[in-house]
Structure 1
Amino acid sequence: MLRQLHGLPGLLAALFLITLAITGAVLALAPAMDRAAAVIPASGEVSVAELAGRVVAHYPGTEQIVRGPSGGVVVYYSRDGQPGADLVSPLTGEGIAPYEPSPFFTWIKDLHRSFLVDDAGRMLAGVMAAVMVLLCISGILLLVRRAGGWKALLRPFAGSGNKRIHSELARFAVLGLLLSALTGSYLSAQRFGLLPEPVEIGPMFPAEVSGGQPAPVATLGALSNVDLSELRELVFPYPDDPQDVYSLTTSGGSGFVDQATGELLKYQPRSDGSVFQQWIVSLHTGEGLWWLGLILGVAALTIPVLSVTGITIWWQRRRSSGKFPDNADASQADTIILVGSEGNTTWGFARELHASLNKAGFRVHCAEMNALADRYPQASMLFVLTSTYGDGDAPASARSFMARLRDFRGEKTLKYAVLGFGDRQFPNFCQFAVEVDAALASKGLSRLHTIELIDRCSASQFSEWGDKVGKRIGTPLALTYDPLPQSTVKLELVERADYGVAVQAPTSILRFKTAEQGRGWWPTFLPRAGKTLPQFEAGDLLGVMPPHGQGPRFYSLASSATDGVLEICVRKQPGGLCSGYLHGLRPGDRIDGFIRHNPGFRPATGNAPVILIGAGAGIGPLTGFIRKNTERNPMYLYWGGRSSKSDFLYQPELWRYLDDHRLTGLNTAFSRSDERAYVQDKLRQDQMAVRQMVNAGAQILVCGGRDMAAGVKHVIEDILKPLATDVETLRAEGRYLEDVY
């Protein structure tokens, strides 16, 4: 059993683990390279004030100074209206070299974290990290068994060949691999909400700013008391604003520094959770611990050899035993899968279900529906996956099923679930599946799960069905089969509106249409040949293929198909490959894109209030929801930006929606205005009204950055306390939805 627990996951995950190992080993070089390129003063030699003074002397337009985990100091500045970033020497303040993240290491990091397929890939990488934990623990136990006890682990192993190589390498690398796998699993579990993520709520903006004449940064007392080795980030005040302050973040906490008096204001130490989180990141990446990174990188390089030797050992053992895994015999199986298919598409879904149940330890027998047996003596579960042929008829592999079912003598303990496949454009959508479900019920069998119908081979619907069934049987089913991989369509930019340049947050509203296929005369009432986009709604995702063969990036749509355009709101991120690409487009330029449906982020129908909360570019899909609120149901928007003069996104549209009552209430917060407020502040000010709306059945939708969403969640939790409920309860009821990035 222990050998199977070690061998089967290793066989299934070998290719993914090799990919993670090689990319991890490459990434392990980055901290050491950063350390080698950095100038590191002795402890106590340079204060933050001295550093800032030297840097400003060479970079008058300094906006931010950042000290990386490996000790390198980077200045972000503006010169002649153009932003820049340089690696500088803290001893002189002079530039060493332009600072720009390596495209190679960025690509390797994306491959390592997500296999270049975003959230699905991140989830897979997290699963692979958990598999690696299992392999390490089971491998240690196998090594102990082979060596003859824990004490014998230090002695050389007997034997030769692949077994000897596998054992010796595993003993050398297992602790490093286990550390990497445990920390990677922890970070992945946080990423997908399985473990709590520490929320570091910084100090509130100080109300007691002196507003006096700014002093030279090198003379500020609070900065003089901080050694460079403790610095993480120093953000400079907004130019010509005496009420603004320096934002200081150190290894111990964060606060504000008065630019006139040099006094430290509103300092807040880091929480224990934040410190622990930083240690987890350092232990996994080697950031700040370059020597550990190199050790973990060397350990990771053993995985390709361990995979090859492990597969060879398994194959030799399997070949010598003469056995090969196959369908369980129908008389011995505890789970039956019957398939009805006309063009073999449904078989792919059945194979995925079969494999997942097999991995979970079930004895599974899979056959076509025409092969229904008289009885299945050991079976407790029956899954029927079937398509519908033509006008509600049975597909080829299920035409004899109904006749055979008349003679079926299933045990009363046998529970069944029917999954239908079809296309909603046909009037008798999944009709045969519905008839099969009713026929099984008429035989006195109990439903394991109510019938569900999948439209156009939707991979997401299949996965959701697997999650529901997994909960029913007490075993998670990760069903990821997708028979219809996304193909891209040419999209042409027809309009853009630009905001936020004045506050260093360039954000654009971009509107695309599908590019015409071919040229020349064509009747407007006839469709053109070529690819077309499926129907979509606001809140769905536009997948954009950036240049140079990178994986797609996803942006929430602010429009529906009935609007005639694909509209997205995109903030240009520093070093952002795709956001920079999109911001560089001009009307007439074309991109490659596709639609990914996102049904989990939609406002509910009905008369209950809907509370929309967002910040920055997160306003895009929220505006799309308002635009579609033609029933004039109660809808309230809380949104935060930087300045009402430069980045009030969708301002004309929102005023118009207020006038025609598609939007019931609008509450904005601008962090670089006189009020210096954030969207969380507005929610606290309106907490009584928010609480009343939630008590009346309101739904809350949050869209924007992850930090903003964490802050909003914290505020909403406080607001909900008098109601004896919390965010997780609302989330379980479908009344608290997030689309964060």
Structure 2
Amino acid sequence: MDTTSNNKPALKIMGNNEFIEDVIKKASLEELYWLHGLLSGIIGTRTQQIFQAGSATATASSPSTAGATVLVEEMHTVPVTETYTVLFATQSGNSRKVAKMLEAKANENNIPVKVLDIADYPPHQIKKEKNLIIICSTQGEGDPPLSAEEFYAYIHSNKVGKLDGLQYAVLALGDKSYVNFCKTGKDIDERLHALGAKRIISRADCDVNFKPTAEKWINELISVLLEKQNQTRSSTNITFHTTTEAAPAAARNLDIFTREKPGTLTVNEIIHLNGRGSIKDTLHVELADEKQQIFYQPGDSLGIYFRNNSLLVDEILKYLKCDGKEMVIYQNVQMSIRDCLEQKAELTLINRDFLTKLAEVSGKTEINDIINDTGKLSEYIYGRDILDVLQDYKIKFKAQQLADTLYPIQPRLYSIASSPLYQEGEVHLTIGKLQYQFNQRQKTGMCSNFVATELKPGDAVTAFVHENEGFRLPSDNAPIIMIGQGTGIAPYRAFMQEIEARGLSNKTWLFFGNPHFTTDFLYQTDWQQWYKKKLLTRIDLAWSRDQAEKIYVQHRLKQKAREVFEWIDDGAHIYLCGGKKMGKDVQDTILSIIQDIKNISNDQAKEYLKNIKRQHRYHEDLY
């Protein structure tokens, strides 16, 4: 076959080129999806074999004609099966990773799948769908990810109708430290079932360490789908080979600085950013990666492991009348109860699982009144720690009983405030020291207090990178609007460093708020320099307590409504980082700006904002 006559590449290595092209032309969409899955599986398997043999170039560049002939024979012998639509709804990127894991396993087993971001899936398409798999995270206290808002609203509306022709499966991702653990996934699962859809397998709920549960669920799903194809393959033979995008070996080591395998960083410097007299204490923390093994991108967070405050541990031991030397078994390891409380157990994040275990071990059945009422539970756990709960219910445990109720210490996540291209071999963080009064006790955030009072230059810190794929700089030169309060300025510092290091030409606009100009303008010199260099196009600041009337970032947005809309209408990406209340207030303000400037209805403004989100131009990192 001549490749020059029609500028199309010819499949010269195949035994019967015309036959193959004819098959492809006549194939249905379902058959093409099946073929895509088959080829992906074969390519993945052969690539693995090539790397293992150490002869990637030679083997890949000279495939044999016999191999191609076998491929055509397989196309005739493997039955065409139904295609499964896989939707992922993600904020940080974990659901997408699981979707790719599922896609790889489906391809290996010749099960046709098409994987889509739920934001790119028209919700009304679900009426025509026969086989749907949804992998969905939950944002904060039970909200759907931005990408899933439209789908979530649609299936809960009256527009959707009955879905009794649909088979589906749901995998939910979440964080057990939140009351509404995996709420979005649970809601979607229950709603589809209520609409008449049939579950392929039961839903599974994944905690922050999602991989073990996700792999088990995928194994079960693949086994059921193979069974539906009448293929006799055992789920015990399904082995995961997780694939990742390639990166230069010197720049990326995928085996460390993950939640499963944290790495070690060294403290270079800790600086208090606020001026004297500020009501806040914000830390700038510089950590060194001496071996330069860490890989992160602006928008990511760093998970920090810490030791619990010894003062709180002392209070707990005193209340239980323990001296701290009592030996306990915790997670199959023997240690003193003091070591358990200081180094291993979570003491300040109360959740439903802990209270359930506490009720079982203590016999205090009245705790169930709170456990079974989400509203009461949310109200009760706010501000409380383990000691508060023990005192509230007058529980006097022995050391081992207490250890039996506690779950492992949870690392705290902080937005990274640096670019690896600008700060080579370093990771910078912006950490607000948490301090508050509750139950007539002075309390501090465990991790922020650990960083502020116990770490010093030269100390080692155990950490991992928490990727946030939903909070990235645009891939083109689109304008960016950065909106933040307090420590929410951290990722924007990383953005600006990245822009400077790469010589990007994006227009940039910062809206930043804090209490006072003189004490709370975080990284003031940096911002002044970027503005002077014309890397920062515009800056608007909101100092809430510098005047009688409180002014917040949403007020500054409203004051610049026309210019803000012009940027948005010109394709700007909008970023929000800070508290959840700020996030809601800012979104309401942006809706108001769209409605006023375009002179349209509220519903039309909401649709306009939905389009921005569909285009992945609206990014949130709220806490």
Range class of TM-score, shorter chain: 0.3 to 0.5
The answer to which structure, 1 or 2, has the higher relative contact order (CA under 8 A, 6+ apart) is 2
Q: What TM-score, normalized by structure 2, do the two folds share?
A: 0.45
